[in-house]
Structure 1
Amino acid sequence: MDEHHDVHTGLHSEHGGQPGEHPGRARNPVIKVADLAWLEFEKPDLAKAERFAHAFGFVTALRTTGELHLRGSDPTAPCVVIRHGPRERFLGPAFRAAEATDLRRLATATGREVTRPPDTIGGRMVELPDPSGLRVRVVADPHPLSALPAQPAHTFNFGHDPHRINATQRPPREPATVQRLGHLVLQSTSHRQTLDWYLEYLGMIVSDFLYFPGQRERGPTMSFIRCDRGGEPADHHTLALTLGPSNRYVHSAYQVADLDALAAGGQYLREHGYRHSWGIGRHIQGSQIFDYWRDPGGFMVEHFSDGDLFDNTLEPGWAPMSASGLSQWGPAVTQDFLGMRPGRESLRELRSVLTALREDNEFNLNRLLGLLKVARS
């Protein structure tokens, strides 16, 4: 039956799991994080990174010889912290604790200490590795940032209920205004172990599971997980984890006001010579309108708008993974987005496949065949 599953129907099932399958949440998590706080990168050229950031829609919150903080218009911590270093690399995410007292609870459970981030950020934090070795920080009380002017919302004449009379619609072709950091996607060779770690220690819960076609009995291979804020709705996914031949950053996503902001901002990026990856379209899991770009270092970043919000009552949906199932509408998914574009990225991933198949992890030959089937679908 799964082989003929139509990914464009039943986009989310409140009770999609079968007996014995992963429940999508831990029974008694150590803490429950409230959101992503920021992402940290290392780059050799901060000036080039800042130029792209401004074209993408960030505002510089701090710039020193060794550090660059990029923010959106929302009154939160910086979305991105970039440190000067010898090469392009993702350093890890920081999550915001729901309560400052959660840091002590997390430190005790993991044998870590509560420490202080750099003075440029402030607050307190616990730093620990996830099962893939990625550095994860959980933070509380960083230096506050005041709100910036938001991109004005448009007035639409949709259907038979017009609101714009004797006025035109002329969205300027300018950078979209990033509002906030939305989510992070990571690839891991140990999907189940990494997923369980985030559920157990950070209290996150699964919104949707995907599995390789014909391999549901082997368990999920992608998990879209959200913060558990009880009755307060949270983004469909704050973190997404996917099984693959290497442990790596896949992409991060930043919210903008609406489709016009996303499209006009994309046109601005295109005119300034930046590399488009995929879009514009609308996702299935999460429902976001999306548009993907590559920064000068090759990292994939996403503009998104109009995403789903779930409270903690919704159980995980289950669906087979497919390339065509990545969007409800939009252009066909690109080789660049799938990591198959000829070049350094695809060669690096091929080498990772050969390495992973020789090691003891979840990415075995059956999983490779499943992944190839996804890419052809």
Structure 2
Amino acid sequence: MAVHSDLHSERGALRGEHPGRAANPVIKVHDIAWLEFSKPDLDRAEVFGRAFGFVTSYRDGRELHLRGTQAGAPCVIIRKGRGTRFLGPAFRAADARDLLRLADATGARVRPLPETLGGSVVDLADPGGLPVRVVAGTEELPALAAQSAQRLNLAGGIDRINGTQRPPREPAGVRRLGHVVLQSTAYRRTLDWYLRHLGLIVSDFLYYEGQRERGPTMSFIRCDRGPTPTDHHTLALTLGPSDRYVHSAYEVADLDALAAGGAYLLDEGYKRSWGIGRHIQGSQIFDYWRDPDGFLVEHFTDSDMFDSGLEPGWAPMTASGLAQWGPPATKDFLGIAPGRESLAELRSILTALRSHDNEFDLDRLRGLLKVATS
């Protein structure tokens, strides 16, 4: 594998640290397929979805599918329910034979998906109990006309002559689902489960400062498609006092689409959580928003793409280390702003510290608090 040096983290692994991949995974998923949510108001969810840049691909009284412009499956499936809840991610297998291998290894069954999606699914649960679906043979939605990237006059050359730059103030056209970030009280068990069952591999590990010897507390994880480059992370996992959804991210054309789309969302009365900036791990230009149900969602552009030959990087976890440039990470993004979310997390901290069946202990709490103030 390629030596990890000055690419996207402070350094590579030390002797004996987690290798970032399973020696013999059951299958290797091809990509993330979609995310599923439960929400009580599908009309409100659809209005925000369109303002955020999705296109509705299916709608009835009980279900809403929101898609990007790239060919493939919908990005988000929202089911009507009494409360708001993240129902879990779906990953796309390379082919239907992988579903049979996964079912044989786990004791699960291969079942048909509804006609609105087509194809087949194996339903699993990760160590935290989160439903995880692996699908194959789903209906391929055709590509739609996509928002074009702007032609730029940069220092290296001129691409626009006798023309002006007037990006419209409109929804940032979502191209595709990029990744989902999850928090787990059993981070190491959950990480190993995804690497073992789905064949994912780690791009970057983060650890609490002063606690590296206890192992990582966050990982950015990509699909293993051999020499074919894939997103720096399709899934990210972080240790915390509760098992929960953190955020999901959706690709847009370029910085102008992201910024003008953000201006449109502000005009429509929606709340920016954090942005605009550029991340360190993954290098994405980002902009984070809260949907009306409180879920954190991200527009991103210009992500790192890695093949399978690059080994994981290692770096300390700090709030200031989340971005190369941009405003400081907000309390809302970090989950410490006064409100229902921070109160729920506080209750989760007390519960986790009383339990012995998780990895979140008092030292880990001290490390997390240091992250928030670093």
Counterpart residue type for residue 311 of structure 1: D
**In angstroms, what is the RMSD of aligned CA positions?**
1.1
Report what 1:162 is aligned to: 158
Could you tell me which of 175, 178, 184 is aligned with 1:179?
175
Distance change (3 Å), C-alpha of 1:69 and 1:87: same
Could you tell me which of 205, 210, 230 is aligned with 1:234?
230
TM-score normalised per structure 1: 0.97
- For the Cα contact (< 8 Å) 2:277–2:326, is it kept in 1? yes
Distance in 2 (CA, whole Å) between partners of 1:229 and 1:102 is 14
- For the Cα contact (< 8 Å) 2:36–2:76, is it kept in 1? yes
CA deviation vs aligned residue, 1:78-132 (integer Å, no higher than 9, x gap) = 0000000000000000000012100000000000000012221110010010001
Could you tell me which of 324, 332, 337 is aligned with 2:328?
332
Report what 2:363 is aligned to: 366
Report what 2:294 is aligned to: 298
Q: What SS does structure 1 have at the residue aligned with 2:51?
A: helix
- For the Cα contact (< 8 Å) 1:14–1:315, is it kept in 2? no
Report what 1:23 is aligned to: 19
Report what 2:72 is aligned to: 76
Counterpart residue type for residue 367 of structure 1: R
CA deviation vs aligned residue, 1:182-222 (integer Å, no higher than 9, x gap) = 00000000000000000000000000000000000000000
Could you tell me which of 46, 51, 57 is aligned with 2:47?
51
Counterpart residue type for residue 372 of structure 2: A
Q: Note the C-alpha offset of 1:12.
A: 2.5
Structure 2, unmatched stretches of 5+, are none
Q: What SS does structure 2 have at the residue aligned with 1:263?
A: helix
Q: How does 1:1-377 map to 2 (within 5 A)?
A: 10-12=6-8, 16-360=12-356, 361-377=358-374
CA deviation vs aligned residue, 1:21-56 (integer Å, no higher than 9, x gap) = 000000000000000000000000000000000000
- For the Cα contact (< 8 Å) 2:120–2:136, is it kept in 1? yes
- For the Cα contact (< 8 Å) 2:273–2:289, is it kept in 1? yes
- For the Cα contact (< 8 Å) 2:28–2:94, is it kept in 1? yes
Distance in 1 (CA, whole Å) between partners of 2:75 and 2:157 is 37
Q: Note the C-alpha offset of 1:235.
A: 0.3
Distance in 1 (CA, whole Å) between partners of 2:136 and 2:29 is 10
Q: What SS does structure 2 have at the residue aligned with 1:103?
A: helix
Ranges of 4+ aligned residues in structure 1 off by more than 2 Å = 9-15
Q: Note the C-alpha offset of 1:11.
A: 4.7
- For the Cα contact (< 8 Å) 2:10–2:315, is it kept in 1? no
Distance change (3 Å), C-alpha of 1:30 and 1:14: farther
CA deviation vs aligned residue, 1:314-369 (integer Å, no higher than 9, x gap) = 00000000000000000000000000010111100000000000112100000000
Distance in 1 (CA, whole Å) between partners of 2:122 and 2:220 is 24
Structure 1, unmatched stretches of 5+, are 1-8
CA deviation vs aligned residue, 1:225-247 (integer Å, no higher than 9, x gap) = 00000000010000000000000
Q: Note the C-alpha offset of 1:160.
A: 4.7
Distance in 1 (CA, whole Å) between partners of 2:254 and 2:178 is 14
Distance in 2 (CA, whole Å) between partners of 1:357 and 1:116 is 41
CA deviation vs aligned residue, 1:251-290 (integer Å, no higher than 9, x gap) = 0000000000000000000010001100000000000000
Distance in 1 (CA, whole Å) between partners of 2:371 and 2:39 is 33
- For the Cα contact (< 8 Å) 2:95–2:137, is it kept in 1? no
Report what 1:6 is aligned to: none
- For the Cα contact (< 8 Å) 2:277–2:285, is it kept in 1? yes
- For the Cα contact (< 8 Å) 1:11–1:284, is it kept in 2? no
Distance in 1 (CA, whole Å) between partners of 2:9 and 2:167 is 37
What count of residue pairs does the alignment treat as equivalent? 369
Q: Note the C-alpha offset of 1:14.
A: 10
- For the Cα contact (< 8 Å) 1:185–1:240, is it kept in 2? yes
Distance in 2 (CA, whole Å) between partners of 1:292 and 1:118 is 32
TM-score normalised per structure 2: 0.97
